Amino acid sequence: MLMRSTVVKAPVPAIWEPWLLVAITLACLAPFISKPAHIDDPLFIWTARHIVSDPGNFYGFNVHWYSTPQPMSVVMQNPPLASYYMALAGSCLGWSEVALHIAFLPWAVAVVLGVYYLAREFCGHPFLAALASLAAPAFLVSSTSLMCDVMMLAFWVWAVFLWMRGLAARNNLLLFIAMLLAAASTLAKYFGLSLAPLLVVYAIMTQRRAGWWNVHLCFFVLVLAGYEVWSHYLYGKDLLFGAVNYATQMRVGGNWQSKVATGLCFTGGCLALVLFAIPLLWGWRGTAIAAGGTVLLALILGVNKSVAGHSVVVGGGMDWLFIWQWAIFVAGGAAVLALAACDLARNRDAKSTMLFLWIGGSFFFASLCNWTVAARNILPMTPAAAFLLVRGLENSKPSPARALRLIWCPWALALALSLYVALADFQLAGLGKTAAESLHEKLGPLFKSVYFEGHWGFQYYLQQLGGIPLDKSNMHLSPTDAVILPLGNSNIFPLSQRDAALWNELDLQYPARVAIMSGPAGAGFYSDGWGPAPYLIGPPPVERYLIYRGQ
């Protein structure tokens, strides 16, 4: 059980530690630099390429993403900073997958180094905290994408670090840069807006009065107000508040109870090191409670036979492989929240309050406010969970030194799991590209036009090869037309028999025994609309593509 004790302080950090962290981060991500465009990567790439030709009108073009062409300002629910960066990188390095992934590596490195330096404010072992963040599946997999999430987190972590240092030293330059980075975090991804309340609460608790930090906060507000005015001028709508409405009004995944359970599952699976470290944090009693809770959850799920709309009955029997993994992940998510609560109860100071709000606010948004639960929404918790983990180990009973020494076994296990999940995601992205190339090669000589539904990387590559997105509002198919329907993809709609008839199908299976985005398996790493678990170890799922001939 976590109790008050003397924190075990590490020696003065060695000068080689940041360099070693950079090397480890690059070594973990290097195998994935050829990863094909995946999930929402195409939206950022298309925006970046448009910015090159028209930098002042970042969303001034149409895109076919929701079954019919729409303005990008309607489709895109993220700000443009990541695409501006990609436009610069693509112009300098080229637009290949390898070039773009290399350009995005510095953001992952910036997160790990930021966690390292910020950890000095919270715990005595910053090197361990940085490695704990690196080993999180949410961070490692997100760092292999071309989306805005890791960039947002990099700005976030450094903003918190400079804000805390600036308040302690009463240094207005540091406070100004912190607010600049906080604004950049929001312009990378709108979730960065939630950083402002964290910084305000910390300033109030440490300063106890108004000061220059209030003025710097006004700068943050002015930057975002300027962005809203600019976007309204360009597109006749407020992009930031439009994205907030989208996130809160569109819902998938069931009622609020299901969303909380799914949020716990995603938290436990995406921050797996805390799950593996339960015996070191809470001893045998805490482990017994976690094990008992896991068994109880599994039994309840077995009785209910479904969770968040996903049935756990397969072929007349119970899918115990799913049930046990889901229950274990939920226990891990509960452990993350308990870690934040225990730390606040033990210390009751500004730093513990910040960590508690950081974890609690992120969980509340990811589970109950956002339109979907996704690993990308759990990602902002990663640094705070790492700090709390190390603080918990430094205050563990009976021997903090022993806990800190033994944590390397759970860390190695968590890193191996994260790399395996990243490999499965890499292979899933590759399947989208392979399917596009194979189907184009097969259908191109047989049909005059090849239409398709679905999006993500599949659309990106098939469209490059001449495939045409099927417009739901304007379909005129003939027997010389083929239509590809990727069953595991997003925004697909059924075809009526008067429009097309089934002609053939293609099944592709990837070797990694981890489901990432599979409705039948119940895994939805990028959206719980596919399933209430972030990933699942088990039989590899099959990606099925149906091919129709126009009537």
Same domain flag for 212 and 322 = yes
User: How large is the average pLDDT for residues 417-432?
Assistant: 94
* Structural domain contains residue 6: no
Can you spell out the DSSP letters for 520-546?
A: TTTEETT-TTS-SBS-EESSPPEEEEE
Phi, psi torsion values for 13, nearest 5 degrees: -55, 135
SS3 69: strand
Quick: pLDDT tens for 439-491: 999 998 999 999 999 999 999 999 999 999 998 888 888 999 999 999 989 88
**What is the rounded distance in angstroms from the CA atom of residue 269 to the CA atom of residue 536?**
9
pLDDT at residue 6 greater than cutoff 50 = no
Quick: pLDDT tens for 154-184: 999 999 999 999 999 999 999 999 999 999 9
Q: Which of 398, 423, 448 is a domain's end point?
A: 423
Q: What are the angstrom distances between the C-alpha of 103 and each of 88, 109, 549?
A: 10, 11, 41
* Structural domain contains residue 5: no
Average pLDDT, the chain: 90
* Structural domain contains residue 9: no
pLDDT at residue 63 greater than cutoff 80 = yes
SS3 308: coil
pLDDT given at position 497: 86
Same domain flag for 220 and 326 = yes
* Structural domain contains residue 3: no
pLDDT band at 88 (very low <50, low <70, confident <90, very high): very high
Whether omega before 137 lies within 30 degrees of 0, making that bond cis, reads no
**Residue (of 274, 336, 330) closest to 298 by Cα position:** 330
pLDDT band at 377 (very low <50, low <70, confident <90, very high): very high
Same domain flag for 436 and 415 = no
* Structural domain contains residue 11: no
Q: Which of 423, 440, 474 is a domain's end point?
A: 423
Same domain flag for 391 and 464 = no
Same domain flag for 419 and 435 = no
pLDDT at residue 143 greater than cutoff 60 = yes
* Structural domain contains residue 1: no
Same domain flag for 273 and 151 = yes
pLDDT band at 216 (very low <50, low <70, confident <90, very high): confident
pLDDT at residue 257 greater than cutoff 90 = no
Same domain flag for 147 and 240 = yes
Can you spell out the DSSP letters for 473-495?
A: TS----TTEEEEEETTSSS--PP
pLDDT band at 28 (very low <50, low <70, confident <90, very high): very high
pLDDT given at position 267: 96
pLDDT at residue 529 greater than cutoff 50 = yes
* Structural domain contains residue 419: yes
Beta pairing partners, 452: 469, 484
pLDDT given at position 258: 83
Phi-psi region of 94 (alpha: psi -120 to 50; beta: other; left: phi over 0): left
pLDDT band at 369 (very low <50, low <70, confident <90, very high): confident
* Structural domain contains residue 4: no
pLDDT given at position 300: 87
**What is the rounded distance in angstroms from the CA atom of residue 482 to the CA atom of residue 225?**
48
Same domain flag for 476 and 363 = no
Same domain flag for 39 and 98 = yes
DSSP single-letter state for residue 550: E
User: 98-119 burial string, b = 16+ CB within 10 Å, else e?
Assistant: eebbebbbbbbbbbbbbbbbbb
Same domain flag for 277 and 240 = yes
Q: What percent of the chain has pLDDT over 90?
A: 65
pLDDT given at position 7: 45
pLDDT band at 1 (very low <50, low <70, confident <90, very high): very low
Domain range spanning residue 435? 429-550
Same domain flag for 369 and 443 = no
User: How large is the average pLDDT for residues 99-107?
Assistant: 97
pLDDT band at 250 (very low <50, low <70, confident <90, very high): low
Same domain flag for 178 and 288 = yes
- Structure-block tokens of residue 52: 């090159």
pLDDT band at 249 (very low <50, low <70, confident <90, very high): low
Compare 218 and 157 and report the one with higher pLDDT.
157
pLDDT band at 414 (very low <50, low <70, confident <90, very high): very high
**What is the rounded distance in angstroms from the CA atom of residue 324 to the CA atom of residue 257?**
19
| Range ranked top by mean pLDDT from 25-39, 210-224, 239-253 | 25-39
pLDDT at residue 43 greater than cutoff 90 = yes
pLDDT band at 297 (very low <50, low <70, confident <90, very high): confident
Q: Which of 370, 399, 423 is a domain's end point?
A: 423
pLDDT band at 40 (very low <50, low <70, confident <90, very high): very high
Largest CA distance in the chain: 77
pLDDT given at position 2: 41
pLDDT band at 207 (very low <50, low <70, confident <90, very high): confident
Number of domains in the chain: 2
pLDDT given at position 238: 80
pLDDT at residue 8 greater than cutoff 50 = no
User: How large is the average pLDDT for residues 416-435?
Assistant: 94
pLDDT at residue 247 greater than cutoff 70 = no
